[in-house]
Structures are given as structure tokens and as C-alpha cells.
Amino acid sequence: MPPPIFNRLSRWKLILLLLVATLILLVLVVITIGPVQISLSNVYTILVKEIPLIGDFVEGEIPAIETEIVLNIRLPRVLGAAIVGVALTAAGVVLQGLLRNPMADPYVLGISAGASLGASLAIGFGFGATVLGFLYAVPLMAFICALGTIFLVYNVAKLSGGNSMLSLLLIGIAVSSFLSAIVSFIKLISVDALHGIIYWIMGSLQFAGWNHVYIASPLILGGIVVIFFFARDLNVLSLGETQAQHLGVDAEKLKTRLLICVSLVTAAAVSISGIIGFIGLIIPHLTRILVGPDHRILIPTSALLGAIVLIVCDTLARVLMSPAEIPVGIITSLLGSPFFVYLLLNRKNRRSTWQN
């Protein structure tokens, strides 16, 4: 009989492999979908042509417009959806672990309110110009204000002392309310931009281009790697802070480091897509039901699942009312919540999915 841990590890590896394969397949399928009809063979020829060396051997004249659409519009958008899904889900997992609260999502510490404020300022006061020629004002402002907000929340929570996680949560709520009020005020006074602000907050992957993907990917992927590095420590932390301390985990340092990662990753995601809800809250729980609460498997699995789900939802968003679009946040909530409830009702008592 092989020792139990061997079974578990290979099972995890299998799951991860399956998910990565699904993700890649999904990307390849989804870039053939869009309001403009491009034949399947053309799409794949375009892709193969991009592979160095092999690509030169492929024959076939593809219209430049089709190449442009597949490579510069669909592909970066799908990849953008993938990294936003990864970012939000991983951030959700970490915050749920840190706060030991199943209701935590990546926005709970004020990041969404901060990003909304940044975007509202940029849209409302017409920051149209680009910074340094390639950074656009709205994502940049969203990113900066999101980080600024969590910085504020963190430091105020530290000042207040006491149970730091609880303070963090409460101050996060207070700051969010305050910033949301400012956003409402901006909506009131800049009527031209009202619609733009609302639309941005609803979340959409419409504007995800290569610029966004290139700039956000290092932040998000780097953040995920660091988070994964602390997976074991997160496991230990779920026993309780004092217990964790006794087991050799420096809880304070861990919290600070993880918060920094979560902030960067979420701010980067939100600057691409606006506020997409549901993914960061529910996908971690979904994954826990499927693979259990061990963060070493939970983090990568939920991240991959988040990417897959968001790509599917974004594709539906593009396709259902073509050529117009439905904000992707609406789709994620409409589809995801009932499915999640279904799963919740149907799970057998395989393993405890949440430790109190």
C-alpha cells in the first residue's frame, strides 16, 4: 500500500495538469468566437504563423484584418481574462485564509472602492491623455488609488491596535463607504462621464489589449508565485494566530507580506477590467469543495479555475448580445451563484471544507 501522501500528491498533480490543459484548450477555442466570422482554419493558421521557425513553413494568405483581430483583439482579451481570473481568485483565497472569514473577497479591504475612485477621477475629469505614451489614465489611476487605499487602510488599522485582522476588516469597510460616497458625488457632478463610470465599475474586459496584458502580467504572476510560496504558512495560520505563532510561523510578517501581494495582484487585475465580482468570493469556495482546504493545492487550482470561469463568462458576455456587450460581472453572478448553491447542496461529507 503506497503511503497516503503519495496518492494525494499524484492526485493533485493530475488535477493541475487537467486544469492547465483545459485552460489552454479553452483559449484556443474561444479565440475563434466573435462577432466577425473568421474560419477555424484561418484562426489556427494565424496562430501557427506566430510560432518562430515553424511558422515560416506554413502556407496560406490570411487577410491582414483577420490576423489583426485574432492576434491583437481576441488573444490579448482572452489572456487578460485569464490573468484577471487568476488574480482575483488567488487574492480571494488568501484573504479568506488571512481573515479566517468565508465572506472575504479581494475587495473587502477597500481596493474596489479605491480603484473606482481612481477610475471615476480619470473618467470624470477627462484624463484622456496617455502617460509616457503607453499607459492610459484610467487603468493607471485605478491602480494607484487602489494601492493607496489599502495602504491607508492597513496603516490606520495598525494605529488602532487590537485584533489587527478585525480592525483591518472594519476600517476597510469604513474607508470603502467613504470612497464610494466620493464616487457617487463625482457621478453627480460630471454627468457626461456618469455612464462611463458606471460601466467601468460594472467590469468589462473590452479594453484589454496587449499593453494591459504586458504591464499587468508580471505583477499578477509574480504575486501569485510569492503567494504560493506561503501556502503552507497559510495552512498553519488557519489554526489560529497564537497556534500559528507556536508552530513557528511569524503571523505578523506573513500577514503583511501576503497583504502586499494581494493588493498588487488585485489592483493590477482591477485596472484591466474594472470591478468584476463573484470570482474572488465564490471560486475559492468552489475549489475547496472539489480539492479541500490545503492551500498548497487550493491556490493553484482555484487560480486556474478562476481563469477558466472568467474566460467562459467573458466569451458569453461578448457573444450573447453581439455586437453589443453585456458587462462580464453580470454574467459571472448570474451563472455562478445558482451553480454554487447547487454544489453546496449536493456535496457529500467528504471532508470539512471550512475550519472554524
In the bound state with other proteins, the residue whose beta carbon lies nearer, of 76 and 85, is 76
Our CB check for other proteins shows the closer of 38 and 175 to be 38
**What are the backbone angles phi and psi of residue 60, rounded to the nearest 5°?**
125, 125
d(CA 240, CA 58): 59
Given a contact cutoff of 8 angstroms between Cβ atoms, the answer to whether 200 and 274 are in contact is: yes
Q: Are 149 and 179 in contact (CB under 8 A)?
A: yes
State the Cα–Cα distance between residues 40 and 36, nearest whole angstrom. 12
- DSSP annotation of 322: T
| Nearer Cβ to other proteins (180/190) | 190
Q: What are residue 130's phi and psi, to 5 degrees?
A: -95, 150
CB closer to other proteins out of 59 and 192: 192
* Distance of closest approach, residue 72 Cβ to other proteins, in angstroms: 6
Of the pair 187, 255, the CB lying nearest other proteins is at 187
Distances (CA, A) of 217 to 9, 220, 246, 340, 353: 28, 5, 37, 29, 31
Shortest distance, position 269 Cβ to other proteins, whole Å? 17
In the bound state with other proteins, the residue whose beta carbon lies nearer, of 124 and 172, is 124
Q: Point out which residues bind other proteins (CB under 8 A).
A: 34-36, 65-66, 68-69, 72-74, 123, 126, 128-130, 136, 138, 189, 191-193, 195-197, 199-200, 204, 206-207, 209-211, 322-325
Q: How far is the CB of 74 from other proteins (least distance, A)?
A: 7
* CB closer to other proteins out of 211 and 256: 211
User: In the complex, what is the shortest distance from the CB of residue 157 to other proteins, in angstroms, rounded to a whole number?
Assistant: 34
> How many Å apart are CA 171 and CA 47, to the nearest integer?
48
What's 122-147 look like in SS3?
A: HHHCCCCCEECCCEEHHHHHHHHHHH
Minimum CB–partner distance for residue 319 and other proteins (Å): 11
Q: What is the closest distance, in whole angstroms, from the C-beta atom of residue 212 to other proteins in the complex?
A: 9
Query: Whole-number minimum distance, CB 62 to other proteins, in Å?
Result: 13
The smaller minimum CB distance to other proteins, of residues 178 and 210, is found at: 210
Q: Helices 279-291 and 75-99 sit at what angle, rounded to 10 degrees?
A: 70
For the bound state, the minimum distance from the C-beta of residue 240 to other proteins, rounded and expressed in Å, comes to 46
State the minimum distance, in angstroms, from the CB of residue 301 to other proteins. 32
Choose between 25 and 189: whose C-beta lies nearer to other proteins.
189
144 vs 114: CA distance, rounded Å: 8
**To 10 degrees, the CA torsion angle through 168, 173, 175, 179?**
150
Q: Cβ–Cβ contacts within 10 Å for residue 11, how many?
A: 12
Cα separation of 354 and 356, whole Å? Answer: 6
Contact 233, 249 (CB under 8 A): yes
- Alpha-carbon distance 84 to 107, whole Å? 14
- Let me know: does 308 contact 294? Beta carbons within 8 Å: no
